Amino acid sequence: MKIYLDGRLVEREDAKVSVFDHGFLYGDGVFEGIRVYGGNVFRLEEHLDRLYESARSIALKIPLNRAELTQATLATVVASGKRDVYVRLVVSRGPGDLGIDPGKCPRPSVVIIADDIALYPAEMYAKGIALVTAAHRRIPADSLEPRVKSLNYLNNILAKIEARNAGCLEAVMLNHAGRVAECTADNLFVVKGGGVRTPSLVEGALGGITRGAVLELAGEKGMVAEETQLTLHDVYTADECFLTGTGAEIMPVVTVDGRAVGDGRPGPVTLALLEAFRDLRLRDGVRVEYAEAAAR
């Protein structure tokens, strides 16, 4: 297994970062999770848009330009030898000292990993999953902008622990006003009257790449698709509910806080969008030229 580390492809056992790296010490950095389907890097450009925006928001200068980072990502996928893989692209502030001053970190570090991922068992897509509402609230934008996909995920991790303690795989996270923001690692959608609704980004949600794709697909199917405000009442009384994310793709939700959603089974709108997404993921993105890239 080869991992990209600051300009070189190295073996897994040689992929090491300094213990003084601010990503390790303080969660100071940004990342993306990207899927490759049959050699198609799904929406790579959108992922890079978000990565560079996140970095700009936290005053972190990525040491590679877009073309260089694109090539590094594709080369890492080729080196994996796999056509279906998950890519984790990480940019940390880089090594400094034990203080928090980012000015002591002379150069950011870039790591790219291409490996397998399976967040949910396959049968869950047919049966759906249960959610609980976490007591931990989503950090408000005036404390840490949720649209920044940063390495600091402790807020989400604490909510994930709540989910696991309740016997669930995911948890709904509310914002400081008590409205639905997102889940610990996924965006949340509800279906009502055939239309799909998801919390606006200003409610504390990350602008998920799969979230954006689903909004587009719903519109193409003639559904009303809107970003809005949602409370738990909207979730409890929805006809259908589902999650979206790079790892999850589109995951049906059948119960929330012990309440059945709709008839307690994955609904027709959710399943139609899942089918449409599975077609989209094979044709929307950047194709990897394995033989050509390997020759280079």
What digits encode the pLDDT tens for the residues 166-196? Answer: 999 999 999 999 999 999 999 999 999 999 9
Q: Are 159 and 134 in contact (CB under 8 A)?
A: yes
Number of neighbouring beta carbons within 10 Å of residue 219 = 13
The pLDDT tens digits for 120-130 are: 888 999 999 99
The average confidence (pLDDT) of the chain is: 95
* Mean pLDDT confidence for 22-48: 97
Quick one: pLDDT at residue 35?
Answer: 97
pLDDT at 280 over 80: yes
% residues pLDDT > 70 (the chain): 98
| HEC-encoded secondary structure of the chain | CEEEECCEEEEHHHCCCCCCEHHHHHCCEEEEEEEEECCEEECHHHHHHHHHHHHHHCCCCCCCCHHHHHHHHHHHHHHHCCCCEEEEEEEECCECCCCCCHHHCCCCEEEEEEECCCCCCCCHHHHCEEEEECCCCCCCCCCCCCCCCECCCHHHHHHHHHHHHCCCCEEEEECCCCCEEEECCCEEEEEECCEEEEECHHHCCCCCHHHHHHHHHHHHCCCCEEEECCCHHHHHCCCEEEEEECCCEEEEEEEECCEECCCCCCCHHHHHHHHHHHHHCCCCEEECCHHHHHHC
Using alpha carbons, list the distances in angstroms from residue 230 to 138, 187, 204.
Answer: 14, 12, 12
CATH code for the domain defined by 2-117: 3.30.470.10
Fill in the amino acid letter for 60: L
> What residues contact 139, with CB distance under 8 A and at least 6 apart?
146, 155, 204
Distance of CA 16 to the CA centre of its chain: 24
Q: Residue 226 — pLDDT band, cuts 50, 70, 90?
A: very high
Q: Are 55 and 61 in contact (CB under 8 A)?
A: yes
Q: Residue 293 — pLDDT band, cuts 50, 70, 90?
A: very low
pLDDT at 294 over 50: no
Quick one: pLDDT at residue 24?
Answer: 97
- pTM confidence score: 0.94
Residues of the chain with CATH 3.20.10.10: 124-280
Q: For residues 56 and 120, which has the higher predicted lDDT (pLDDT)?
A: 56
Residues of the chain with CATH 3.30.470.10: 2-117
Catalytic residue among 16, 61, 82, 149: 149
Residue 149 annotated among the catalytic residues of the structure = yes
Q: Residue 296 — pLDDT band, cuts 50, 70, 90?
A: very low
CATH 3.20.10.10 fits 124-280, yes or no: yes
Number of neighbouring beta carbons within 10 Å of residue 222 = 8
* Mean pLDDT confidence for 78-93: 96
pLDDT at 292 over 90: no
